[in-house]
Chain A
Amino acid sequence: MTTVTPAPARAATGAARRVRRTPLAGRAGVFAVMSIFALYTLIPVWWLLVTATKNKGYLFTTNGLWFSHFDLWANIRDVFHQQDGIFARWLLNSALYSIGGAAMSTMLSAMAGYALAKYSFRGRDLTFNIILGAVLIPDVMFALPLYLMFSEVDLVNTYWAVFLPSIVSPFGVYLSRIYAGASVPDELIEAGRLDGAGEARIFWRVAMPIMSPALVTIFLFQFVSIWNNYLLPLLMLNSDELQPVTVGLANWREGVNQGIPYNVTITGAFLSVIPLIIAFLVLQRFWRSGLTAGSVK
């Protein structure tokens, strides 16, 4: 649903056409309010874009919201040369954590959500409620004790320390259960059983294809939440080599007073945002369907 389609009922009745059109003044007012908030949203990002093109000499002396000397390529080169080119490594780490974690998480959520939606067994509702309850507990509650537990088993400062906790997504199970319940017909499952297919085969061959749009949504949400994670990797990792780009850049920000150039940090921040913005614009309809779940009666 990338385009705004009016609900069928709105278009279908002739009533809409008989109603007075909204007066021009009203429409202008609506447009004004929406534009003001659009500016509020865009100005910081615009500043980031403009500033990423400035050499550090011009950063302090030129208008922050307009271009001066275009040095974007030199800045990008500086970003990838800073600290022996570790920035590329950070991007790769972020990609590994996010893609791997989101893929695993989607698979597990699909299986669990389908089981909770399509089988009745004792303790099913309790199980689901416990999983939902976990959504209401702040991350720090898990992050800090996990750090202590992982240090007992020597997992701290390894890929696993960030990867394992990212696989678990209660919200993913919630979405997956809703979609499985709403879109996988019981009749199809029964038909599969009559044909002699095993439960696993029915899940793979019947349910998964039907659930695939929801799975893309779950993947996206989890991908973004892992890419954006800061507290967990900050606690778990001390080695620069393992850090995702969020932790790395925050360290550079801290180092601005100790000689990390301003323009490197700002351009680095700009670069780390681009892949996500592209992903968002391209895959928008999946976001909307994910956000709709649970907010619509």
Chain B
Amino acid sequence: MATRTPGDALARPVAGSTAKHTSGRGHTRSAVLLLAPFGLLFTAMMLAPIGYAVYQSFFKTNRSGLGLGPSTTVFAGIDNYVTALHDSRFMSSFLRVFTLGIVQVPVMLGLALLLALLLDSRGAAFKKVFRQIYFLPYALPGVIAAIMWSFLYAPSVSPFTAALRHVGLEVNFLSDDLVLASIGNMMTWAWTGFNMLIIYSALQAIPGELTEAAVMDGCSGWRVAWHVKIPAVRPALILTTVFSIIGTAQLFNEPAVLSQVAPTVSPTYTPILATQQSADINNYNYAATQSVILALLTFVLSFGFLKFTQRKGTFA
């Protein structure tokens, strides 16, 4: 199996295999036929919903007679967007997730990079066992992990609360002050190993001569890591950052489960929860507007990050 892949296609979409391609003319039909099944479903399940959400977001449903009478749908222009931007609960859900992400993503990726470098260092023992342990959380479905943590945080059964009580500390992980950090911990626990493995795979692919040369020149392990290894895994770091931005924007499982057991997690705690709540009360136009805003912001952030890193010099 090829572990070397031609180019980081996610960071440079057009840089696929630039080898000569099988001649196009006459075979275009075959290519279209091969693409058609995926293309049709992709259009129906991904492109159409985006179009539909955008379309819905420009309309309003007016219900007469206390919501019991017949409803009429009218063009609303940007009214829904204006409403959303003035919706303090919706806006604060963004701020909350952004605050969480700006702290949690760097911490998690820093940890993932450190662990990957340690695994790749010559002083590491039991590499295989450690690698398997770190990857274990990825095998747990997100919502199941969230259920597990919801018990681990619950004051009545939490072994951590009990242990802290032993040393005279009374900590409630679901309190107002701590609940956001608790959610951050759930995300870090779930995803650090996955990101570590991506970075570690990239470290494994660095040609041996590079690191050997640095070591021969008398570089210490840390200096080799800093000057040779980290620049070499830049694409992997960019990739994991983009995935983490998208993942954080979609934060749903953890707060959805915690909101059932912790009064501190409101029904509009994250943008997706807020959107789901609008849908629950049949306010579909507004829910569509909220999902468009969330998708736009996520796309801008992740795509902006990609562009920003590409402008800063060449890929190492």
What band does the interface of chain B fall in when counting residues whose beta carbon is under 8 Å from A? 35 or more
Would you call A137 and B50 a contact (CB within 8 A)?
yes
Would you call B50 and A179 a contact (CB within 8 A)?
no
- Using known A-B contacts A9-B209, A168-B41, A178-B6, determine if residue A22 contacts B121 with beta carbons closer than 8 Å: yes
Q: Which secondary structure dominates chain B's binding surface?
A: helix
- Using known A-B contacts A27-B125, A138-B294, A173-B38, determine if residue A296 contacts B3 with beta carbons closer than 8 Å: yes
CB-CB under 8 A from B50, the residues of chain A are 137, 141-142, 145
Q: Per-position contact with B for A109-152: 1 when CB-CB < 8 Å, else 0?
A: 10110111111111011011111111111111110111111000
- Using known A-B contacts A168-B38, A182-B5, determine if residue A44 contacts B189 with beta carbons closer than 8 Å: yes
**In the complex, A237 Cα to B72 Cα: how many Å?**
27
**In the complex, A266 Cα to B284 Cα: how many Å?**
35
- B2 an interface residue at 8 Å Cβ cutoff? yes
- B19 an interface residue at 8 Å Cβ cutoff? yes
Most buried by B among A235, A273, A281: A273
Tell me the minimal C-beta distance from A64 to chain B in angstroms: 3
Would you call B22 and A142 a contact (CB within 8 A)?
no
- Using known A-B contacts A138-B298, A140-B250, determine if residue A112 contacts B35 with beta carbons closer than 8 Å: yes
Tell me the minimal C-beta distance from B299 to chain A in angstroms: 6
Kindly specify which of B80-88, B168-176, B252-260 makes contact with the partner chain.
Answer: B252-260
CB-CB under 8 A from B126, the residues of chain A are 31
Q: Which residue in B22, B115, B257 is a CB contact (below 8 Å) of A189?
A: B22
A66 nearest CB neighbor, chain B only: B159
Tell me the minimal C-beta distance from A184 to chain B in angstroms: 10
Would you call B115 and A34 a contact (CB within 8 A)?
yes
- A77 an interface residue at 8 Å Cβ cutoff? no
CB-CB under 8 A from B272, the residues of chain A are 138, 140, 231
In the complex, the number of residue pairs spanning A and B with C-beta atoms less than 8 Å apart equals: 383
Q: Which secondary structure dominates chain A's binding surface?
A: helix
Most buried by A among B1, B276, B303: B1
Would you call B16 and A181 a contact (CB within 8 A)?
yes
Would you call A294 and B10 a contact (CB within 8 A)?
yes
**For chain B residues 186-219, which have a beta carbon within 8 Å of chain A?**
189, 192-194, 197-199, 201-202, 204-209, 211-212, 215-216
**For chain B residues 107-153, which have a beta carbon within 8 Å of chain A?**
111, 114-115, 118-119, 121-128, 130-145, 147-152
Tell me the minimal C-beta distance from A272 to chain B in angstroms: 6
B271 nearest CB neighbor, chain A only: A140
Would you call A145 and B208 a contact (CB within 8 A)?
no
- B167 an interface residue at 8 Å Cβ cutoff? no
- B105 an interface residue at 8 Å Cβ cutoff? no
Would you call A296 and B202 a contact (CB within 8 A)?
yes
**In the complex, A30 Cα to B221 Cα: how many Å?**
12
Tell me the minimal C-beta distance from A62 to chain B in angstroms: 10
**For chain A residues 7-35, which have a beta carbon within 8 Å of chain B?**
7-13, 15-16, 19, 21-22, 26-27, 30-31, 33-34
Would you call A203 and B34 a contact (CB within 8 A)?
yes
CB-CB under 8 A from B61, the residues of chain A are none
Tell me the minimal C-beta distance from B242 to chain A in angstroms: 7
Tell me the minimal C-beta distance from B221 to chain A in angstroms: 7
CB-CB under 8 A from B284, the residues of chain A are 148
- A74 an interface residue at 8 Å Cβ cutoff? no
Q: Which residue in B17, B28, B252 is a CB contact (below 8 Å) of A140?
A: B252
Q: Which residue in B42, B56, B250 is a CB contact (below 8 Å) of A168?
A: B42
**In the complex, A254 Cα to B258 Cα: how many Å?**
9
CB-CB under 8 A from A178, the residues of chain B are 5-6, 9, 16-17
Q: Per-position contact with B for A265-288: 1 when CB-CB < 8 Å, else 0?
A: 110010011001101110010011
CB-CB under 8 A from A224, the residues of chain B are 139
- A83 an interface residue at 8 Å Cβ cutoff? no
Would you call A200 and B141 a contact (CB within 8 A)?
no
CB-CB under 8 A from B6, the residues of chain A are 178, 181-182
Q: Which residue in A38, A120, A132, A262 is a CB contact (below 8 Å) of B133?
A: A38
- A261 an interface residue at 8 Å Cβ cutoff? no
Would you call A250 and B239 a contact (CB within 8 A)?
no
Q: Return 29 A-B CB contacts under 8 Å, by A number.
A: A7-B207, A10-B212, A40-B189, A44-B152, A45-B137, A48-B148, A109-B38, A111-B34, A119-B22, A119-B24, A119-B31, A122-B28, A138-B249, A139-B250, A141-B291, A145-B48, A149-B49, A178-B6, A186-B21, A224-B139, A230-B256, A253-B150, A280-B138, A281-B132, A291-B201, A292-B5, A294-B10, A295-B236, A296-B201
8 extra A-B contacts, CB within 8 A, seeds A117-B16, A136-B302, A289-B1 = A4-B204, A15-B215, A136-B299, A142-B46, A165-B45, A230-B141, A291-B198, A295-B236
Nearest 5 Cβ contacts at the A-B interface: A9-B208, A64-B159, A181-B17, A10-B208, A119-B31
